[in-house]
Amino acid sequence: MALSLPGERSVTAATPNSPLRALFAWVAKVNADRARRTALQRLLELDSDRLNDLGLSHTDIHDAMMVRGGRTATMVLNTARAKRSLR
């Protein structure tokens, strides 16, 4: 048996309890995913010199578009920028 603190919400309490709420949550997620893809595609349109000024490369952006395993595109891009800043 797990012990929960009074201020913690259970997983069940965090999930939408009505089909309408679930639908709105799904639509919000789809819109956020679309906005992320659009932003990454716009970054791909930049030339190499401009991306270099940002501390990124086209490869970094492609890697960010293919994230899996709990990582986010922001994590991938921030890691790439941090590695490039150490050079």
For residue 84, the tally of other CB atoms under 10 A from its CB is 14
SS3 for 34-67, per residue? HHHHHHHHHHHHCCHHHHHHHCCCHHHHHHHHCC
Helix (H, G, I), strand (E, B) or coil at 13: helix
pTM (predicted TM-score): 0.69
Give every CB contact of residue 60 below 8 A, 6+ residues apart in sequence. Answer: 76, 77, 80
Per-residue pLDDT of 5-51, as tens digits, reads 666 666 666 665 788 999 999 999 999 999 999 999 999 999 999 99
Give every CB contact of residue 46 below 8 A, 6+ residues apart in sequence. Answer: 54
pLDDT band at 69 (very low <50, low <70, confident <90, very high): confident
Residue 55 backbone zone (phi > 0: left; psi -120 to 50: alpha; other: beta): left
